[in-house]
Amino acid sequence: MALDRANFSPGVIDGRAGKQTRQAVRRLQEARGLALTGVADEAVRRALPTDAPVTSYVLTEADLAGPYVERIPDDMMEKRTLDALGYTSPAEMLAERFHTTPSLLARLNPGMPWTAGTQIQVPNVTPFIPPSTTETRKVNPPEAARVAEVRVSRSQGTLVVRGTDGAILMHAPVTSGTEHDPLPIGTWKVTAVYLRPVFHYNPELFWDADPSHAKARLAAGPNNPVGVAWIDLDKEHYGLHGTPEPERVGVTQSHGCVRLTNWDVVRLASLVQTGTPVIFEP
């Protein structure tokens, strides 16, 4: 939780210290001038916020009311029939808000009643609230002036944002490319940011698409195939985006683009501007 609050994201908080946690620790150690061990030792703990790892949250009527989608189908042609690709339950919504999984929420709150006024325990992170409207942003956010580059490592499965002074402003795990759709190694530039985007599905761009599929417009929402934000690049068909399956970031491959959790891509979108260099490296 403390790594997340310091902008060194371990991805989904699941209660286990795995590869992505070690990568986040190592990047923090680099930023703070510590030995690069990937181990959360006493020096790392001193470099992190000291707040409690969990905090209390009270369920509200709005949390329970939604609106929620009964089911998100796997098939793209079925997806296109939905008016929105929103959350399917309060548990899914709250898990994403607190950068975790429904299963960890259940472990933290055994036997919890899903009623307004119930106090629950959640990871102590900055709560994620998805964009509520679809918009395109080509203006430069205030923080973007500090950003020198975004660098994505295919082999490490990581993204790092560096400032003009060389400081690390953000670290996050990513999924990028496959043998069928390899990450295009090189330097590209941000052209625009799309918040809460619709997704224009073109089966011709997917090597594993069902041959019976046609082009389709899929509604916006956190369960949209590109999540709640798309950061467009000057490489056609490529961008950095969110995902409806945060627990798979850094674990499974993508169709060539760079996939982050929804909360990490929104944080990234607040840092970049038109023209920000994005470097894809092996």
pLDDT tens-digit map of 145-160? 889 999 999 999 999 9
Domain 135-281 fold: L,D-transpeptidase catalytic domain-like (2.40.440)
Residues in the chain: 282
Tokens of 87: 């959350």
The Cα 103–Cα 92 span in angstroms is 10
Which pLDDT value is given to residue 125? 96
**Integer-rounded Cα radius of gyration of the chain:** 19
Residue 233 scores a pLDDT above 70 = yes
Any idea which residue has 């929104």 for tokens? 266
pLDDT tens-digit map of 155-194? 999 999 999 999 999 999 999 876 667 889 999 999 999 9
Q: Which of 247, 173, 128 is nearest to 10 (CA)?
A: 173
How far out from the chain centre does Cα 142 lie? 21
Residue 252 scores a pLDDT above 80 = no
Which pLDDT value is given to residue 46? 92
User: pTM for this one?
Assistant: 0.93
Domain ranges, ordered by start, for the chain: 2-47, 54-123, 135-281
Q: Return the number of other C-beta atoms located less than 10 Å from residue 126's C-beta.
A: 13
The Cα 25–Cα 19 span in angstroms is 10
Hey, is 99 helix, strand or coil? coil
Report which of residues 136 and 104 the model is more confident about: 104
Which pLDDT value is given to residue 59? 98
